[in-house]
Amino acid sequence: MLDRLAGASRRFQVHALVELDVTEAAARIEAAESRVTWTGFVVATLGRAVARHPEVNARRAGNRILTFDRVDLGATVERQWEGRSVLDVVTIPDADRRSCAEISARLHDAKLGPGESARPTGLTAWIVRLPGPLRRSAIRMAGMSPRVAATFGPAVGVTSIGMFTSGWGWAIPLAPLTVIATVGGIDDRAVVRDGRVVARPMLPLTLTFDHAVIDGAPAARFAETFRTLVEAAAAFDEARPPGSSDR
């Protein structure tokens, strides 16, 4: 993981800092029959936004762009392991088709469970025994092959700083992903609605894009779709996004 983060420092990343009005989402989460977390809601919503913009569900492999045909998302969770807190990455398969409650339950189980095995096998087991500089170079070279790059996990992910603090603010992430949504802590903010200044629960969120894969205009369109879906709490109403097909 650290080697892949070192590789991410070479990327040309662009960031969009947005504030989202989550008044409707807060009411829907409160009224949900099954437990729904904010991270589960964001992951479900992000999956639906990615399904509408499949061009962001891609990864660069050398001079080629590898596009995924299903919406798998990665999410970070904090887990207790051998007496200490560790961060783990959980893959949510078909995130565009899963309910907020399903995703919340999966993240909860990952947080309390033993975690997925990360024992390297095959070529990876050989690579991890190399000295640091050679290892990182080998990973970078292997990632130029679409076949190998496809095994690096989801191209889109969610991480949350809101779970560590009640403070409000953005974070600028460093991650080996094409798109990552970094979720901050929700707080009441003064906003203008119908010509009046009112207090609304606002979610600060950073959308980070790999500029080698996604240009500015597609990134802006994706960000606007994501904003619309979050503020409408659309993930509570859809089993799958309109226009999607069975894969």
Neighbours of 112 (CB within 10 A): 10
Q: Which neighbouring-strand residues pair with 158?
A: 75, 181
Residue 135 phi/psi, 5-degree rounding, is -65, -45
Residue 204's pLDDT is what? 92
Compute the chain's Rg from CA coordinates.
Answer: 18
CB burial of 17-45 (b: ≥16 within 10 Å; e: otherwise) equals ebbbbbbebbebbeebeeebbbbbbbbbb
Predicted local distance difference test score (pLDDT) of residue 61: 85
**pLDDT score of 244:** 46
The pTM of this model reads 0.81
Element (H, E) at 182: strand 179-183
DSSP line for 96-121: TTS-HHHHHHHHHHHHHS--------
Side-chain-facing half-sphere of 220: CA atoms under 13 Å: 3
What does the pLDDT read at residue 87? 75
Taking only the tens of pLDDT, the chain with its 247 residues reads: 665 555 666 668 888 899 999 999 999 999 999 999 999 999 999 999 999 999 999 998 888 899 999 999 999 888 777 777 777 888 999 999 999 999 999 999 888 866 555 566 565 666 677 777 777 676 667 667 777 777 778 999 998 876 555 566 667 666 678 999 999 888 899 999 889 999 999 999 999 999 889 999 999 999 999 999 999 999 998 654 444 444 4
